[in-house]
Amino acid sequence: MAKNPFGKSRSQLNPYAIYAAGDWTWHVCKTYKAPESESKDVYARWFVWAKSPHTYGSYEGGDTYRAEILQHAKLVAAEPEWLEAQGMTPTVGLPLPTTYLGRRVVGTM
């Protein structure tokens, strides 16, 4: 069984990846399965902090199905390890989540 590299929870301001679609944003802060297992499970879920028109400008934390995010949203920021684990080629110009958010997270540099 492969170890899950994204199983440790992160804060909303230091997510592994950020996905966006229109007024919706998801900060992926934890996954419950290793990436190899997620791709085989339609019910794989991620812990996210999500912002939408329904949250009135704030974020709400909770589990969301991986498939829903991937179906509706575009990756806008990610850690290099996230890209590698998701089988994506690093994209020139795709920022780190902390850069995308315009914040420096203490203890990550």
Which pLDDT tens digit goes with each residue over 65-84? 999 999 999 999 999 999 99
pLDDT of 28 > 60? The answer is yes
> How many other CB atoms are there within 10 angstroms of residue 89's CB atom?
7
pLDDT of 13 > 80? The answer is yes
Cα distances (Å, whole numbers) of residue 32 to 45, 63, 96: 7, 10, 22
Of 3, 1, 13, 17, nearest in space to 81 by CA: 17
pLDDT digits (tens, 9 = 90+) for 96-109: 999 999 965 555 43
How high is the pLDDT of residue 103?
Answer: 64
Predicted TM-score (pTM) of the model is 0.89
Q: Are 62 and 68 in contact (CB under 8 A)?
A: no
How high is the pLDDT of residue 54?
Answer: 94
